[in-house]
Structure formats: structure tokens, C-alpha cells
Structure 1
Amino acid sequence: MRIVSGQYGGRPLKTLAGKTTRPTSDKVRGAMFNMIGPYFDGGRVLDLYAGSGGLAIEAVSRGMSQAILVEKDRQAQAVIAENIAMTQEAGKFTLLKMEDRHALQQVSGQFELVFLDPPYAKEAIVDVIKNLDQRDLLSSDVMVVCETDKSVDLPEEIGSLGIWKQKTYGISKVTVYIH
């Protein structure tokens, strides 16, 4: 795996062996960013189930100014730390080593981009988006990008957000919510 485009484009990304994380393939990540960007002019990104950190690092590579990555798995945290080090701009990244619900209680400020790829998709996505919305953590021009199995059907609206775009790539479905 590698960074697809932007400032860190072409640099390799380490991934975790085994089944504890499901890294987004280069192809799907590239398509996802073409869907939502593909480039950004600053802003904050939250990756709540970071895995290897590829999505948040790709977002910063493409112009986001700050990223908060949340991961509870210790092995995945080590991989994220290595991938952040590869950027040589560690100051742009914050790794929170905890479960999603604890991280949601600690984060503050607003995010322009949120990635959600939880292990138990539908229930977690609905609850997390409602929580982010209620806590005023989503900017007025936020994009919440949800990656699920293609069989998962997410609701048209969650809180004050509605589906803007939705595409299926192989076994993955990407759903983007906006205000």
C-alpha cells in the first residue's frame, strides 16, 4: 500500500498483518478521494477507526492541515506511528490510543472531514454521526465518509446530515454525508 496522491504521494504505507484491521486498498482510497476532493485547502480530519492511518495521512497529503487518528488496537497503533513518522511532519497528526466512545468525549473543535470505517458498521455509524452532530464537532461544510460492506444500507439522513454521494467499489460501499 502507498499514499496515492498529494504531498506524500507514492510513499509506502505499512499495514497490519492479520484480520484485526481492514486497510482500504489504494484503488478504493483513490476513488474515495476523487469522490470528495480530490484536494483540500486546510481543515481538520478525524479518522475514528484509523487502522493503519492511511485515510487520514492521505487527507493531509492532499491538503488537510491537521488529523486526529483514533485506534484502540496496540499493534495498529504502532503501525500508525510508523506511517506518521514516514510523513516527516508528525506535528500535523495526533494519535489517540483509545476506543471510539472515549475519543468522542475528548475531541473538541470542528472537523471538515470525518472517516468512519467501524468493524460493526451500521449501528456504530448512526450512533457516531449523531454524537458528533449533537456535540457540534462537525463544521457547516463537513463531509462524513463512511466505508462499509456493500450489503450495508445506511439511512438517508442521520441527525442534520443527509447522503450526498454513494458508490460501490467491489465489496466496499462508500457513503458520504453532508449538512
Structure 2
Amino acid sequence: MRIISGDYKGRTIKAVPGMKTRPTSDKVKESLFNRIGPYFDGGAVLDLYAGTGNLGIEALSRGCDTCVFIDQSSQAVRVVKHNIKNLGIMKNTEVYRNDAKRALYIMGNRKRSFDLIFLDPPYAKEQLSNIVEIIEEQNLLTEEGQIVCEHHSETVLPEDIQSFRKSQAVTYGDTGITIYTY
């Protein structure tokens, strides 16, 4: 895996060994960032279900200021820490091992808010609508923010989830991307 654009363009990042994670392909990542950016003038990112940290690191490379990476797998957390250390971006990041829902409540209690939230759960465990509801309940997305949901292409997410509206939905082979905004 490599970083496609920005400050760390061309640098490689380590993958999580085994078949438990499904990193976003370069083709999908490039198309995704062309839709949501492609570059940023600062901002805070939450990479929930971080896996390798691929999406959050790409957002940092393209100009976001900070990123919180969360994954419940200790192996994934070790890989994210390795990748951010290797890139020298540890001061701009926080990495936590936690369950996604529990982590969202903790972020809400800490009054955190994010300009960009990536949700890329294991396809077999998709609960995206419920996770998006918690994001709103905990007031985790800034007014101009975006929630990017990566899911199986056969999964169709609702047009509206509470105050969020689907702004874009595209498929790339087996991968679907749905973006929500206020």
C-alpha cells in the first residue's frame, strides 16, 4: 500500500498481516479523495475501524491537521502505530484500541468534533446506520463535515439518517462508498 498524494506521496505503509482487514484499494482511495477533497486546509479526522490507518494517513498527507485512529484489533493498532511512527506524524495523531461504539461515546464525552469521519467496518459486521446515529447523538461531526462510509457494493444505505443526508453514493466493483453531510 502506498500514499497516493500530498506530503507523503509515494511512501508505503505496512498492512495488517492475515485476512482480517481489507485495506481500501489505491483506485478506490484516489477516487474517494477526489470526491471529498482532494486536498484540505486543516481539519480533524476520525478513522474508525482504522485497520492500517490507510484513509486517515492519506487525509493527513493531503492537509488535514490531526487524526484519531480507532480499531478494536490489537494487531491493527500496532500496525497503525508503526505506520505513523515511520512517517514521523506521531504528534498529529492519537491511536486507541477500542470498540467503535464505545469509542464514539468516549469522543462525545470529551466534546471532540471532526471535519471528516471514515467508517470502514468489516463488511460482515456493518452497522453503519447505527454508527452514524451515534455520531449525530454525540455531536461528533462539524457543521461542514463529511462522513465517509465504505461498505459492500450490495449494501444500500438510507437517504437520510437523522439530520444527515446522503450526498454521494458510488460503487467500485465490490466496494460501495456513501458520503453523508448535514
Q: TM-score range by the shorter chain?
A: over 0.9
Aligned length: 179
Q: Which residue of 2 aligns with 1:143?
A: 146
Equivalences for 1:160-179 in 2 at 5 Å?
160-179=163-182
Is 1:69–1:93's contact at 8 Å kept on the other side of the alignment?
yes
Is 1:69–1:96's contact at 8 Å kept on the other side of the alignment?
yes
Q: Which residue of 1 aligns with 2:25?
A: 25
SS in structure 2 at match of 1:46:
strand
What is the Cα deviation at residue 122 of structure 1? 8.1
Equivalences for 1:79-118 in 2 at 5 Å?
79-107=79-107, 108-118=111-121
Q: CA RMSD in A?
A: 1.3
Residue 100 of structure 1 aligns with an amino acid whose one-letter code is A
What is the Cα deviation at residue 120 of structure 1? 4.7
What is the Cα deviation at residue 17 of structure 1? 2.1
Residue 51 of structure 1 aligns with an amino acid whose one-letter code is G
Give TM-score, length-normalised by structure 1: 0.96
Match of 1:125 among 114, 123, 128: 128
Identity %: 42
Residue 23 of structure 1 aligns with an amino acid whose one-letter code is P
Task: Provide the rounded CA distance (Å) in 2 between the counterparts of 1:63 and 1:112.
Answer: 12
Task: Provide the rounded CA distance (Å) in 1 between the counterparts of 2:116 and 2:62.
Answer: 12
In structure 2, list runs of 5 or more residues that go unmatched.
Answer: none
Task: Provide the rounded CA distance (Å) in 1 between the counterparts of 2:126 and 2:18.
Answer: 24
Equivalences for 1:5-24 in 2 at 5 Å?
5-24=5-24
Is 1:122–1:153's contact at 8 Å kept on the other side of the alignment?
no
SS in structure 2 at match of 1:12:
coil
CA displacement 1:4-41 (0-9 Å, x = unmatched): 00011110011012221110011111111011110011
SS in structure 2 at match of 1:24:
coil
